Amino acid sequence: MRTRLTFLITLLLLGGGSLYHACAEVNIGVKADESGIKEFYLAIGDHYRAPEKEVIIVKEKGIPDDDLPVVFFLAKRAGVSPGVIIDLHLGGKSWMDITFHYGLTAEIYYLEVKKVKGPPYGKAYGHFKNKPKKDWKTIKLVDADIVNFVNLRFLSEHYGYSPDEIIKMRSKGESFVKINAKVKKARAAKKEKVPTKSVKAKAGVKAKKKK
């Protein structure tokens, strides 16, 4: 009897755990669809070759959405797992501290752009403009600058989008989750126009042949 009771309790506990995780996944999905966060997570995972679940786990560790790409960027550059980067950051180290910890410098964050004025990128790029390139390794960026630089690189490289346009959106105070949604939509719209042009061109060629 006792054995049977223990077995039933175990089943209930396991069932309850599964139900909890199922509900949690549904809640995450609903919120993500409403705010564009899911698309942001998928883009991060795709760009840094990490499963979406891993991105969510990093988020649940207490890392803000805009900081998520920094975790995966540094992990890739340092050759360690995202978990190691998270532990260092949650342990009190800034993103710059972690950068130096692995023998890296601020140079890894720099991305060439045409022109930058005003916050939040004006001051960040000023660090590089005010020093000769040979001294860039001495630059110390604050966390906010690193978050802006990494997301700029991530979004521009992932979507093949102009970094200057991303800077304009960010200067308006938009989050990178929102910028990701806009850039993705813009790229999709651009792709839809290309086949239309090709069809018209083919139609033109056929018309000439008939003549």
Give me the number of domains the chain comprises.
1
The more confidently predicted of residues 36 and 154 is: 154
- Omega before 120 within 30 of 0, i.e. cis: yes
Q: CA–CA distance from 12 to each of 2, 8, 21, 92 (Å)?
A: 15, 6, 14, 40
Domain range enclosing 48: 37-192
The residue whose two tokens read 């207490």 is: 62
| Tens digit of each residue's pLDDT (9 = 90 or more) over 25-60 | 434 443 444 568 999 999 999 999 999 899 999 999
Alpha carbons 192 and 105: distance in angstroms, whole number: 40
145 in a structural domain: yes
Residue 162 lies in a domain: yes
32 within some domain: no
Residue ranges of alpha helices (H) inside the chain are 2-35, 37-47, 52-60, 68-78, 82-90, 95-101, 121-129, 143-159, 163-171, 176-210
Compute the average pLDDT of residues 191-202. 56
pLDDT of 11-21, one tens digit each?
Answer: 334 444 433 34
Q: Is residue 6 part of a domain?
A: no
Predicted confidence (pLDDT) at residue 23 exceeds the cutoff of 60? no
For residue 123, being part of any structural domain is answered with: yes
Token reading at 20: 């909890």
Q: How many residues does the chain have?
A: 211
